Amino acid sequence: MELVILSGKGGTGKTTIATALGEFSKNVIRIDCDVDAPNFYLFYEGRDIKKETFIGGKKALIDNCICKKCGMCEVVCKFSAIENYKINSFICEGCGACTLVCKYDAIQLKDEKVADIFLTELNKGIISRAKMEIGSDGSGKLIAQLRKNGKNVNEDGQLTIVDGSPGIGCSVISSITGSDAVLVVTEPTKSGLKDLMRVVKLCEHFDIYTMVCINKYDINNEMSIEIEDFTISKGLKLVGKIPYDNIVMKSINELKPITNYSDSIAKSAIEDMWNNIKNNIKIY
């Protein structure tokens, strides 16, 4: 069973909830697919048991010792990545057109390192994660590899909890493709409802079982009711309503899962939500 935690934007409490659900499950594989801003692993101590270099594509490189400065590469480049016989690596798409028109073989396509990817052993389970290179973009291919690495070490049919990227872009699509269920974390604001609608529409397109959680529901009861009405109209399960809790900020600052704080009202609400999730998707 693979459960993906999503949100329409950052800052809704997605990772806090993903971390807590991982703690309530006694046997879990964690995957941090929020590769542009990974923080799932920060809540745990562990050791890296595997490290790989992830190559995301190619970049063109001009050998100035061979280049005759004919300018054909600049003419053919559709991305305006070549100027004054130099290639801007941030603009180059690695299409290879420049290599085809260069009569002197002065341009080569070189592998582009996008990230280091890790399997990290925790005191409870394993997390699959990535550390991006500066300026790199989170890609669907990278996230697909992280999920594959998680599956490769899931020998006992453990639950997999995926901390997905916010939004509805390529990385989110790669996070949910082939998954079993999605939990969308939203907040009781107008923008929160609109973001929820977009994520739900995406999940509908991929025909994935979708549940909803309202975080900090009590800061705006009127909007919480609107969100509940929306979930009912879509036939979705509202599995959790989590109250505002100052202890959540303390847990983030101390980099400890909210489950470590016995007096947290958010912790109690997430535990109730975990039981609802288990009943809805048959996790045992």
CATH number of the structural domain spanning residue 109: 3.30.70.20
Regarding whether 199 and 107 lie in a shared domain, the answer is no
CB 39 within 8 A of CB 170: no
Regarding whether 165 and 108 lie in a shared domain, the answer is no
Rounded to 5 degrees, what angle do the CA atoms 264, 265, 268 make?
A: 95
Rounded to 5 degrees, what angle do the CA atoms 40, 46, 47 make?
A: 120
pLDDT (tens digit, 9 = 90+) per residue, 197-217?
999 999 999 999 999 999 999
What's the pLDDT score for residue 276?
Answer: 94
What's the pLDDT score for residue 188?
Answer: 97
Regarding whether 105 and 70 lie in a shared domain, the answer is yes
pLDDT (tens digit, 9 = 90+) per residue, 142-196?
999 999 999 998 877 888 999 998 999 988 999 999 999 999 999 999 999 999 9
Residue 13's SS3 state is coil
Q: Pick from 113, 132, 155: which residue ends a domain?
A: 113
Regarding whether 64 and 20 lie in a shared domain, the answer is no
Could you give phi then psi for residue 115, rounded to 5 degrees? -165, 160
Domain containing residue 247: CATH number: 3.40.50.300
Altogether, the residues listed in the chain come to a count of 284
Residues 127 and 129: their CA atoms lie apart, in Å, by 6
> What DSSP character marks residue 27?
S
Residue 181 β-bridge partners: 3, 209
Which residues, including other chains, have CB under 8 Å from residue 205's CB and lie 6 or more apart?
Answer: none
Regarding whether 109 and 247 lie in a shared domain, the answer is no
> What DSSP character marks residue 139?
-
Regarding whether 218 and 89 lie in a shared domain, the answer is no
Q: Flag whether 91 is in a domain.
A: yes
What's the pLDDT score for residue 138?
Answer: 63
Regarding whether 151 and 96 lie in a shared domain, the answer is no
Q: Flag whether 245 is in a domain.
A: yes
Candidates 110, 101, 45; CA nearest to 77 is: 101
Q: Flag whether 49 is in a domain.
A: no
Q: Flag whether 148 is in a domain.
A: yes
Q: How many domains does the chain have?
A: 2
Regarding whether 265 and 128 lie in a shared domain, the answer is yes
Regarding whether 213 and 81 lie in a shared domain, the answer is no
Domain range enclosing 167: 2-44+123-281
> What average pLDDT does the structure give for the chain?
92
Regarding whether 187 and 165 lie in a shared domain, the answer is yes
Candidates 104, 116, 121, 105; CA nearest to 46 is: 121
Residue type, 79: F
Q: pLDDT by residue for the chain (284 residues), tens digit each? A: 899 999 998 889 999 999 999 999 877 899 999 888 888 888 888 899 999 999 988 999 999 999 999 999 999 999 999 999 999 988 999 999 999 999 999 999 999 888 999 999 987 789 999 998 877 776 788 999 999 999 998 877 888 999 998 999 988 999 999 999 999 999 999 999 999 999 999 999 999 999 999 999 999 999 999 999 999 999 999 999 999 999 999 999 999 999 999 999 999 999 999 999 998 887 54
Residue type, 192: G
What's the pLDDT score for residue 283?
Answer: 58
Which residues, including other chains, have CB under 8 Å from residue 127's CB and lie 6 or more apart?
Answer: 29, 30, 31, 32, 40, 41, 44, 46, 119, 120
Regarding whether 263 and 184 lie in a shared domain, the answer is yes
Q: Flag whether 118 is in a domain.
A: no
pTM tops 0.85, yes or no: yes
Regarding whether 261 and 134 lie in a shared domain, the answer is yes
Tokens describing residue 90 = 């941030």
Candidates 11, 32, 42; CA nearest to 216 is: 11
